[in-house]
Each structure stands twice: as C-alpha cells, then as structure tokens.
Chains A and B, each alone.
Chain A
Amino acid sequence: MLKSLIYIFCFLFLGELIHYFLAIPIAGNIIGMLLIFLALFFKIIKLEDVKPASDFLVKYLVVFFIPYGVGLMVYANIIAAYWIPVSVAVILSTLLSIYVTGAIYQKLDKK
C-alpha cells in the first residue's frame, strides 16, 4: 500500500513540476494521470505496484470533493441570482452531449 501510494504521489509531483515549469494550461494532476497511464502502457511500471493505493483512492473519490460541495454555500447567492440561465444551459447541454455521443456511437457501431 505504502509503495503504491509513493508511486502515485511521485507521478503527481512530476505532473505538478511539469505544470509549474512549462506553464501549460493543464493541471498538474491531469498531467500526472496521463504520465502514469503512459508508464503503465509502455511497461515502465507494473500494475501491481500502483494498484492498491489507486483502487483505494478511486473507491473513495467522492469523499474528497465533499468540501467543494460544501463550499458552494459561499457562492449560493451567485447561483441564485442567475438560476434561470444556469438551469437552461446545464439541462440542455447535458442532454445534448449525452444524445450526440450515444447517436454517433450507435451509428458507427452498425457498420
């Protein structure tokens, strides 16, 4: 468990390092995710070396963003002031994105 956690932290650290020094508009943890994926893909690291900690983190993923959900209370007035455009945009865009993805997949799958 500890070894796999160190691996995950090292990839996160590397991602943050790249983000900091290259100043690209991609978050360090997303760079870390891409790097660990590539490292596994090209067999630079072994799946069993990173699996214990990564399974744990993915399992409890939702716990880690609860504080952000609570933080919404600070900004509730902004959402309340613009609830109509926000609702319209979120509902239509979500259903549109779901439909377009599903329709394209189904169409291509038939061939």
Chain B
Amino acid sequence: MKAFFALPIFGVTLTLMAYFLSGKLKEKFDFVIFNRVLVSAILIIAVLFIFNIDFETYNNGAKYISFFLGPSVVALGVFLYEKLEEVKRDLKIFLISVFVGGIVGIISVVLFLVLLNAPEIISRSLAAKSVTTPIAIEITKITEGIPEITAGIVIITGILGNAFGPVVLHKLGVKNKKAVGTALGTGAHGIGTARAFEISASAGTYSGLAMCFNGIITALLAPYILAWLLSFTQ
C-alpha cells in the first residue's frame, strides 16, 4: 500500500482536491480562520494520519506542485510592473513606508525571539515571516532555517494581520485608506491584502504592491540583518 501512496499522482491529486474542498468551505463559512492554505493543509494532514502515510511519501507527488512556487515568484514581478502605474503619484512615501515597516518587521521578530531565548534555528526560520510565502520560503533556504516552519508561521502572521491589523491601526489613529492598505501588505502579505481589498479597491492595490516590495526588500536585507543580530548572541 505504501508503494501505491508513493506514486506522484497521489500527492498531486490529494493536494488539488484539498484545495478545491477548502474553496467550498470558504464559501459556506467566510471567516479568516478558514484560510484556504490552512484548511487544505489540515485536510491533507488528516488523510495522511488516517492512512498512516509519512510526509516524504506524500511529497513524492506534492513536490511537483511546490515546483511551481519558483515560476510564480517570477510572475509576481509581472504583477508588480502592471500595478506600479497605480501608485506612481505616491511612489516616494509608499516606498519609504514599506522599507521602514519591512525592516522593523525583520528586526523585531528576531529580537523578540533572541530575548525570549528561542533557539537560533527558529530565528533563522522566522526572519522573513511578514512576506508572501513563496518568497519567505526562498529566504529561509538562504538563511538556513526550516522552510516548513516558515510556511506555517507566515500563514499565521497573515491571519493575525488580517484579523487584527485594521482594528489596531484604527485604535492608534491610522485612518488613511492607502496607509492601511500599505501597512497590511507590508506586515501580512497576501492574506492582509485580501482584507485590504474589503476596505477599498485602492487599499487592496496598495497592499498587493506593498507585499511585492516588502518581499524584495526582505529578500535583499534579511540575510544580513539576521547575521548581524545573531552575532550579538555568540
């Protein structure tokens, strides 16, 4: 039976079916917690547990799906080019905000982890926690963390930002819609962007662009910021 589950078609079909079902569930219950990646992953893990299949066996097929992460990151460059036109007027303040907010995100997560005595491997896995999952996974490979931990925490970060970001911003007096959009994309990537689109179309566009820019900024700087912060712990 194990040889059967090791066939690539098993992992591929299971992943696509879980994603399809997560969409049906999302239609019925429109809560943040019914995030499609989260629901899909839980469904798949449940199937693997029931049939006593290990991750490696599942990944024989699933790796053909995750292969497409690479090309889809390249596709984000096309998305970035298309949408850039829409923020042209505010480009300077947009870039400054995303740059500072992105760096604050990297430094603060590593600093808190170091202060709370979490092992170095966790800091290496979470430095890129605010950026979109495909980019975060690649950054973690460079910083020598564990990409699977990154993927899980990035999704949780997105859900947090989606659920609480707008409330916190409102309470602290940030009411400008473009500012809210930019903030959600910078701190909570695509899942935050989904919430920004609920606020307004322009907030959503700013959020999507902020997600791309923070992805680039974090990819360029996170390895160096991480090395610098970790050098104090040795």
What is the CA–CA distance of A79 and B40 in the complex, to the nearest angstrom? 20
A64 touching B187, Cβ below 8 Å: no
In this complex, how many residues of chain A approach chain B with their Cβ under 8 Å: the count is: 71
A66 touching B18, Cβ below 8 Å: yes
* Chain A facing B: main interface SS: helix
What is the CA–CA distance of A50 and B117 in the complex, to the nearest angstrom? 46
The chain A residue sitting closest to B108, CB to CB, is A93
Asked if A92 meets B77 with Cβ closer than 8 Å, knowing A64-B69, A67-B65, the reply is no
In this complex, how many residues of chain B approach chain A with their Cβ under 8 Å: the count is: 108
Query: Interface code A72-97, partner B: CB below 8 Å = 1, 0 otherwise?
Result: 11110011001011101111111111
Asked if A101 meets B75 with Cβ closer than 8 Å, knowing A68-B66, A78-B122, A94-B157, the reply is no
B142 touching A27, Cβ below 8 Å: yes
B17: min CB distance to chain A, Å: 11
A22 within 8 A of B: no
Asked if A85 meets B116 with Cβ closer than 8 Å, knowing A30-B135, A66-B19, the reply is yes
Q: Can you report 28 A-B residue pairs in the complex whose CB atoms are below 8 A from each other?
A: A8-B75, A27-B73, A47-B81, A50-B78, A53-B75, A54-B79, A57-B75, A58-B75, A63-B15, A64-B69, A64-B134, A66-B15, A68-B66, A71-B55, A72-B152, A82-B118, A85-B113, A85-B118, A93-B129, A93-B130, A94-B105, A94-B187, A95-B160, A101-B101, A101-B104, A101-B179, A106-B175, A109-B176
